[in-house]
Amino acid sequence: MRLLSHNLLQCNVKNCKSNNFPLKIQVDKSNIINCEFRKEPLVKLIPKLDWNALAITVHNLAKNKEFPEKFSPALLDDQKFMQELHRILMETHIIEGALICEGCNKRYPIKNGIPNMILNDEEV
Amino acid sequence: MENLDVVYNTNNYLKYDFLDYLPFIEKGELDQVYRPNDDSYLMIEALNLEAENSIEQGALIVEIGSGSGILINHLVSFLDKKNKSSSLAIAIDINYDANILTQKYANHYHLSQVECVNTDVAEGLYNRLKGQADVVICNPPYVPTEDEEVASAYQKLYQKDKLLKEGKMEEMKKINCIEASYAGGEDGMVVTQNMIDTSLDLLAPNGSLYIFLIFENGVESIVKAIQQERPEFKCQVLLKQRKYNELQYVLKCSRLK
């Protein structure tokens, strides 16, 4: 699971309405896997990100203490920053671990890089 | 259907760059997911045409029920080759083995945009993806069956999921959930309807759903219902073919601006 996907995952347990995003990440095994940097698709992705959630996650994972809390258009022209954003979103993989909802404590396991968001009967 | 013209003429021979899944598949891996068939190839043909004619650069792609991953991996590859690379391609499946295979397929062909999520339709992704997907792909469980077959298929899926979460991998491997990939209940629409409704919700302005359907699903009624209840969408039949006893369609539903 790349950190990009994490930005799209929210707890969907019945009645869990607050503190359900972003999910806290328990990292048992992670990896940086290089892949091709493509600027235009990355630029198109930015409006779809929840930047605040991304900043919180990056800080919590100690991936980059200087990661900006707010997005500004000037960042798009900062080549070094865009490469760093690519590294965070596209190259940082959580292979084993879990996603934990801070609102209801539901634990979503991550196995072989695949997050499992399936709920039990009672939770639907 | 008199009022729905078919946009493209199908070529029954392959005219696209086929990403062969055989080189890396292990024995038994294809037993757990839907084995690609004529429906898959008709969808790939449609996606190839749309990658050329319609889909723009940087698309956020979602597939609901990716199975082996053949559809989403081909679309990502087509777009890469046409220099219109997608930004992210989320392959969703309720069957863990489908996720594993899709990921393996994507890794083999270095399709770095592909991400796999193990969930039911779009649970856990819905709130963040609503109105954000430029492309949604779906080859649903379209075969008309008894409703019980759907219920038993899902029972097996949840059993498999439970064993997976308990770490009982050997026991998990013994449960075969292949029925869930095709069992559609009455008119083949019991699961399909939910997939259509959810897919339309996920579409961004100018985004399109590409869905495989057969005549028995009541394609005309589906289109009529969308036109009446959700007039912000436009429907077109992209491809149509008769294979054995199935009249097959690829339907495109686009969210107008």
Q: In the CATH scheme, what is the homologous superfamily, with its name and number, of domain B18-255?
A: Vaccinia Virus protein VP39 (3.40.50.150)
Place of tokens 């499992």: A116
**Domains of chain A, earliest start first:** 3-119 (2.20.25.10)
Place of tokens 């391609």: B89
Between A2, A4, A117, which is nearest B118 by CB? A117
The fraction of chain B above a pLDDT of 70, given in percent, is 97
pLDDT digits (tens, 9 = 90+) for B58-85: 999 999 999 999 999 999 999 999 999 9
pLDDT digits (tens, 9 = 90+) for A92-123: 999 999 999 999 999 999 999 999 999 988 88
B112/A112 Cβ within 8 A: no
Place of tokens 């006893």: B245
pLDDT at B14: 56
B103/A45 Cβ within 8 A: no
Contacts of A109 in chain B (CB under 8 A): 165
DSSP characters over A55-101: HHHHHHTTS-TT--SS--GGGGG-HHHHHHHHHHHHSEEEEEEEEE-
Q: What is the pTM of this model?
A: 0.96
pLDDT at B257: 75
Q: Identify the band that residue B28 occupies on the pLDDT scale cut at 50, 70 and 90.
A: confident
Place of tokens 């809390």: A69
Among all residues of chain A, which has the CA nearest to that of B80?
A: A38
What dihedral angle (degrees, nearest 10) is formed by the CA atoms of A69, A74, A76, A81?
Answer: -60
pLDDT digits (tens, 9 = 90+) for B197-252: 999 999 999 999 999 999 999 999 999 999 999 999 999 999 999 998 999 999 99
Place of tokens 């013209």: B5
pLDDT digits (tens, 9 = 90+) for B5-17: 888 887 755 567 8
Rounded to 10 deg, the angle between the B38-53 and B70-81 helix axes is 30
The fraction of chain A above a pLDDT of 90, given in percent, is 92
